[in-house]
Amino acid sequence: MRRLVAALVLVALCAAPGGVHLAAAQAGTPPPDSTLPPPDSTAQLLQQARELYERVDIERALPLLQRVVAPGWPFSVTRAQRVEAYTYLAASLVLVGAADSAARYFRAALENDPFTDLDARRFTPGQLAVFRNARRLTFAVGARPVSALRVDPRTERVTFTVVTTHVATLRVEVRSTDASGGRVLFQGECDGLRELSWNGLVADGRLVPPGRYALLVDGRSRLAGRSDSTRVYFDVRHELPTLEDTLPDLRRNQLLPEHYPPSAATGDLIKGLGVAGAVLISGALADGRLGSRNAALPATVAATATLTGVIAFVWRRHHPNAPGNVAANVRRRQDRQSANDAIQRRNAERIAQTILLIAPASGVGP
């Protein structure tokens, strides 16, 4: 009887969906459609198949699972659903004694998702043995998608999970999609699941710059000599307090002239003569009816102003530099530099508090 069931199941696996009905009829069981509500989605059908499997109603579960993985299945099938279908299909086939076919479906599940595994509490030793054999025959590497998270690189780590279906040489690297920098997280032998932590630094020890990155997983089987690779993209952003802008370079009009033009000397002479003239005019404003104007006092001051103008003229002709302005400019530059140094210190303190925002991404670029 058991051989008969196995034969019927194999016929069902090889046939079109209509074949499922035929196999069921030949097995003396009613067609699935007559007892089950018509499946209107992959999830619903998988749910029915799981329930049948749990009731060890393998003959009825197998056609349902076969329909999910058939090319003609009209509904969308996620990768997880396909892997589940393959897995239950393989597990069911093991129960009906079709170990070779079961191994093929286990391998299909592993190729779709290298993280596929069987729970030893829910599957029989026979199923587990077939699955282990499928893992040895299949080589695939996998990496779990990066989930969105917020990481303080000072105290926390980003964890990546990678897997190989069997023992292999593995290299795992975080690399910018513009290939500007990366960091190897793991290089060595790996058999199965491995968790890798990343401190958010790139190869030069600096915090990873914002941008799009890929977790590159390359493996080479130690058993079959085959290679496989996969990559997972994610975005890195920095969350940090707003940084201050540094002061711009001093503009020309913010600096004093450090050299006087030749006209400056003449200007000083004219100023001295002008002040002397003003002094003499002040003297001329004295009341003439109060006696003759005393010229000595204004003349003294006028002479002082004139002498100042002449000395300034000669001095400026021979000393066109403006040391006071030079010193003032130096002070202004120093003040600006000091202010910028302080700003950069404050910014560095803020940058040190950078939080990494990790988010999954779909590819090299948007």
Partner 1 sequence: MPLALALVTAAPPTAAAQWTVRGSGVVSVMRHRVDAGYGVEPSRGVGVGAELVVGKGDRLAVRLLTQTGSLDAAGPGAIDRDVADVGAEVVVVAFPWLAAQAGVRRRTYSTVLARQRWTTVHVGAEARVRFTETGVSGIVRGAVLPGVWVNGLDQPDLAFAVASGMEYRRGRASVAVLYSVERYRFPAGPRPSRREQIAALALKAGWSVTR
Q: Which residues bind partner 1 (CB under 8 A)?
A: 260, 264-265, 267-268, 271-272, 274-275, 278-279, 281-283, 285-287, 289-291, 294, 297-298, 300-302, 304-305, 308-309, 312, 315-316, 322, 324
Residue 346 beta carbon to partner 1: minimum distance, rounded to whole angstroms: 24
Residue 348 beta carbon to partner 1: minimum distance, rounded to whole angstroms: 30
Residue 254 beta carbon to partner 1: minimum distance, rounded to whole angstroms: 16
Residue 311 beta carbon to partner 1: minimum distance, rounded to whole angstroms: 9
Give the residue among 107, 85, 216 at the shortest CA–CA distance from 166.
107
Residue 306 beta carbon to partner 1: minimum distance, rounded to whole angstroms: 10
Q: Output 78 or 300, the one with its CB closest to partner 1.
A: 300
Residue 251 beta carbon to partner 1: minimum distance, rounded to whole angstroms: 20
Q: CA-to-CA distance for 196 and 145, rounded, in angstroms?
A: 13
Residue 223, token pair as written in the block: 């058993």
Q: Output 281 or 342, the one with its CB closest to partner 1.
A: 281
Angle between helices 263-284 and 296-318 (to 10 degrees): 180
Residue 199, token pair as written in the block: 């401190």
In the DSSP assignment, the letter for residue 255 is: S
- 3-class SS of residue 151: strand
Q: Output 182 or 267, the one with its CB closest to partner 1.
A: 267
In the DSSP assignment, the letter for residue 205 is: S
Radius of gyration of the chain (CA): 44
Residue 107, token pair as written in the block: 């391998």
Angle between helices 125-137 and 79-95 (to 10 degrees): 120
Q: Output 326 or 343, the one with its CB closest to partner 1.
A: 326
Residue 152 beta carbon to partner 1: minimum distance, rounded to whole angstroms: 43
Residue 185, token pair as written in the block: 């997280």
- 3-class SS of residue 180: coil
What end-to-end distance do the CA atoms of the chain give, in Å? 58
Residue 268 beta carbon to partner 1: minimum distance, rounded to whole angstroms: 5
Calculate the alpha carbon distances from 267 to 50, 242, 276, 325 in Å.
103, 51, 14, 18
Q: Output 209 or 320, the one with its CB closest to partner 1.
A: 320
Q: CA-to-CA distance for 105 and 75, rounded, in angstroms?
A: 20
Q: Output 119 or 287, the one with its CB closest to partner 1.
A: 287
Q: Output 315 or 346, the one with its CB closest to partner 1.
A: 315
Q: CA-to-CA distance for 351 and 345, rounded, in angstroms?
A: 10
Q: Is there a contact between 148 and 358 (Cβ–Cβ < 8 Å)?
A: yes
Q: Output 325 or 340, the one with its CB closest to partner 1.
A: 325
